[in-house]
Amino acid sequence: MKMDTKQIINQEKKYIVHTYARPDIVIDHGKGCYVFDKAGKKYIDLVGGIATCPLGHGNKQFAESINKQIAKITNPTNLYYTEEQVILAEKLAKLSGLDKCFFSNSGTESVEAAIKLTRKHAKKYEIIATKNSFHGRTFGSLAATGKEKIKQQFKPMLEGFRHIEYGNVKALEKAITNKTAAFIVEPIQGEAGIIMPSQDYLKQVREICNKHEILLIIDEVQTGYGRTGKFFAYQHSKIKPDIVTLAKGLANGIPIGVTITNNNVANSFKPGDHGSTFGGNPVSCKAANFTIEHIISKKLMQKASMMGDYLIKKISSLNISSIKEVRGKGLMIAIEFNKQVKNILKKCLDNGLIVNSTSEKVIRLLPPLTINKKIIDDSIKILEKALK
């Protein structure tokens, strides 16, 4: 049965649990930085599947590559060795400067694995996290998350998490006790509205973690795979974490999660300690291998830096008094307003531009890394129109 827009929206109301407040559009297909709705209307997509599509939508070569893998085999499971998994693990180990990977299917699972690994390795269970952080919606990562509003109704939380001010190294030093096992932190807080710490924050954090012999877990779920101009955002600070979590855009929209760590920590996990039926399946790994090769060969990290600077410059040059601040790194950008943005989102959408908000006054942009100046210029025209 073919359905039109109205029928699909009605069916959603009837059959889907309402955890999302969706605008009234039904996305049908995509091409590069554009998506098209069921009625054929074209939109510039500056949300990029919430940062999950670094190569853009509808990439034919990508589709061919994973289609071949689907025809070969989809999921022999982790009971056996598979080639794409070890190819991907070697790539990620070399890119991160770490040693070993645990594969799962999402960001929240990559954080769950990091928490379990930390508890087993350190033989302690206290983890320090930051206020307003976001690490996922399952119970371990939700406990690590620093947004009280999304936790309130699901208490009691997993024990052992304490939250300190983001960007404050003195608060970290003060919070560490002999029960502390690790500090978990995002290099840039994404869901909080692209909050950037000072340049030397992670370097100082690394020194404090070394001094107190606690693990440093860096959550790169949103900042990773080249979006900020380096493959991992912590690489701007020239440090090495003990554990890294990665997901979102790593496989260009195909579900994947990875927890990467050093040999010392990795060796704490023994067969049976953790697992995932779908984690590391050859389809997701093939998709991630293709995505990484493309990000490197097409110089998408360098492009993310250049296009990010261009986008920030263009927005900053708009003469709009309601814009309070434009901030970001690479293609992870926030526009903060001194008024609510709900109507702006709606006007952008009506005029063919998809943007999203992290809070009442912040619009966040996470476009595909393949975006170019022409698409940015077109977006700015629509944004300007919506704001005026």
Burial class (CB in 10 A: 0-12, 13-18, 19+), 80: exposed
For ligand PLP, the closer CB: 254 or 383 = 254
Q: By three-state DSSP, how is residue 37 classified? A: strand
- Alpha-carbon distance of 29 to 222, in angstroms, equals 23
For ligand PLP, the closer CB: 122 or 144 = 144
Token representation of residue 7:
């029928």
Residue 140: name the closest of 91, 107, 177 by CA: 107
For ligand PLP, the closer CB: 32 or 197 = 197
Minimum Å gap between C-beta 9 and ligand PLP is: 24
| Helix ranges (DSSP H) in 247-336 | 263-266, 282-297, 300-316
For ligand PLP, the closer CB: 354 or 376 = 354
In the chain, the amino acid numbered 256 is I
Report the residue closest to ligand PLP, judged by CB.
107
For ligand PLP, the closer CB: 32 or 226 = 226
For ligand PLP, the closer CB: 277 or 372 = 277
Residue 77: name the closest of 110, 103, 108 by CA: 103
Please provide the distance, in angstroms rounded to a whole number, between the alpha carbons at the two ends of the chain. Answer: 42
Minimum Å gap between C-beta 213 and ligand PLP is: 25
Sheet with 27-31: list strands edge to edge: 27-31, 34-37, 42-45, 353-354
For ligand PLP, the closer CB: 247 or 341 = 247
Contact 348, 43 (CB under 8 A): no
Minimum Å gap between C-beta 356 and ligand PLP is: 12
Q: How far is CA 78 from each of CA 51, 208, 246, 272, 287, rounded to the nearest angstrom?
A: 28, 37, 19, 12, 17
User: Distance of alpha carbon 63 from its chain centroid, rounded?
Assistant: 22
For ligand PLP, the closer CB: 221 or 304 = 221
Minimum Å gap between C-beta 109 and ligand PLP is: 7
Minimum Å gap between C-beta 19 and ligand PLP is: 12
Minimum Å gap between C-beta 339 and ligand PLP is: 25
DSSP letters for 77-119: -TTS--HHHHHHHHHHHHHHT--EEEEESSHHHHHHHHHHHHH
For ligand PLP, the closer CB: 219 or 336 = 219
Contact 244, 222 (CB under 8 A): no
**Which residues sit at the interface with ligand PLP, rule CB under 6 A?**
106-108, 111, 134-136, 186, 190-191, 219, 221-222, 247
Instruction: Compute the chain's Rg from CA coordinates.
Output: 21
Minimum Å gap between C-beta 139 and ligand PLP is: 12
Minimum Å gap between C-beta 28 and ligand PLP is: 23
For ligand PLP, the closer CB: 287 or 323 = 287
Q: By three-state DSSP, how is residue 128 classified? A: strand
Minimum Å gap between C-beta 333 and ligand PLP is: 15
Minimum Å gap between C-beta 234 and ligand PLP is: 13
Q: Kindly tell me the sign of the dihedral angle through the C-alpha atoms of 105, 106, 108, 112.
A: positive
